[in-house]
Amino acid sequence: MNEKVDPNEFVADNEQLEDQICEGCGTLVVKDLQTGERICNCAAKEEEAALIAQARERQKLAQAQAPKPKPMPNKVAPSEVPTEAPADPEVAEQEMPVFNSRDALKAIPGAPGQDQIDAWKQEFGSIYTFPFDTKEIYIWRPMRRREWQMLQANEALVKEEAKFQEQVVVRSILWPKMGPVELNMSRAGLVSTMFSVIMQGSYFLHPDFAISLVEEL
C-alpha cells in the first residue's frame, strides 16, 4: 500500500478521515511527510507473519534432521533404566516399571504428605516435582514476576550468575529444604539444572521456541 499520493490528499497533522482507514488491516493510514507515502500496519503484519513462518520452517527442519527416538510407552525412573532393552517390545513394556512421583514420595522418609502439598497449592498455585532418581525428588514452584523484579533490582547479585541462580533455586524449591549447607552438599549440577527447569516453568522461553508456538486463529 506504499504508493505515491497527492500530498494535498492528507492533512498535515494526519487527522483521521473516513477514507484514511486501510481495508486490509483496519488501521489508520497516515502520510509520511518526507516521502508522501501512505503508511499503515500492513507491512508490520507481513513482517510478523514472515518471522513466524521462518521460525516454523526452522522447527520443521530441526525435527526432520533429529534422530528418531525409539518409542517409550512408559516413563521410567533414571536409576531404573535397563542397560539393554529386551528384543521383544511387549516384554520391555511389561518389565519397565512405571515411575510416578507421588508414589515415589511416599517411600521417602520425611517427604511431605498430601495436607502439606494442598497447603502449598493454596499458597502458590501450581507446584511440580522434578526427580533426579527415585530417591531424590524435588518439589518446586514457579517464580512470580514481583519476586523476579526484586532479585533483578539487586545489582550486586545479578553480576554474580552462580549466586543469582542459587537464590532462584532456594526460593523456588519447597522440599527438601535448601539452604547454604544443603547447596554445598548437593551434586555439582543440581543448581544449574533446577534453575533451567524453574525458568521454563516460570515462562522464560527461548524466543524462537515461543514464536514457533504461535498459531493464527
DSSP state string for 148-215 = HHHHHH-HHHHH-HHHHHHHHHHHHEEES---HHHHHHS-TTHHHHHHHHHHHHTT---HHHHHHT--
If asked whether residues 37 and 112 sit together in one domain, one would say: no
Confidence of residue 98 (pLDDT cuts 50, 70, 90): confident
The dihedral formed by the CA atoms of 204, 207, 212 and 213, expressed in degrees to the nearest 10: 30
Strand (E) or helix (H) holding 119: helix 114-124
Give dist(CA 183, CA 177) in Å, integer: 10
Query: Which residues are 67's β-sheet partners?
Result: none
Which pLDDT band holds residue 111 (cuts at 50, 70, 90)?
very high
Is residue 33 assigned to a domain? yes
188 occurs within a structural domain: yes
- Residue 77 in any domain: the answer is no
- Stronger pLDDT, 56 or 29, i.e. the higher one: 56
More confident residue, 127 or 39: 127
Does 59 lie in the same domain as 104? no
Residue 115 sits at φ, ψ, to 5 deg, of -60, -45
Answer yes or no: are the C-beta atoms of 157 and 166 closer than 8 Å: no
| Residue 43 shares a structural domain with residue 102 | no
pLDDT digits 0-9 by tens, 1-53: 545 445 455 444 444 444 566 666 666 666 665 666 666 666 666 666 676 67
40 contacts: CB under 8 Å, gap ≥ 6: 1, 22, 24, 25, 27, 28, 29, 30
49: domain range?
7-65
Residues linked to residue 28 through DSSP beta bridges, in sequence order: 21
Judge whether residue 113 has pLDDT over 80: yes
| pLDDT (mean) for 97-106 | 85
Residues 61 and 136 in one domain: no
- Domain containing residue 171: CATH number: 3.30.2220
Last residue of a domain, one of 65, 82, 115: 65
Same domain assignment for residues 187 and 138: yes
Q: Which of 106, 192, 111, 175 is nearest to 139 (CA)?
A: 175
**Whether residue 61 is found in the same domain as residue 130:** no
Grid cell locating 189: 549440577
- Give me the pLDDT at residue 83, please: 52
pLDDT digits (tens, 9 = 90+) for 144-193: 999 999 999 999 999 999 999 999 999 999 999 999 999 999 999 999 99
pLDDT band (50, 70, 90) for residue 77: low
Q: What percent of the chain has pLDDT over 90?
A: 47
| 195 shares a domain with 139 | yes
Q: Does residue 91 fall inside a structural domain?
A: no
141 and 188: one domain? yes
| Total number of domains constituting the chain | 2
Domain closes at, from 18, 40, 65: 65
Question: Do 59 and 159 fall within a single domain?
Answer: no
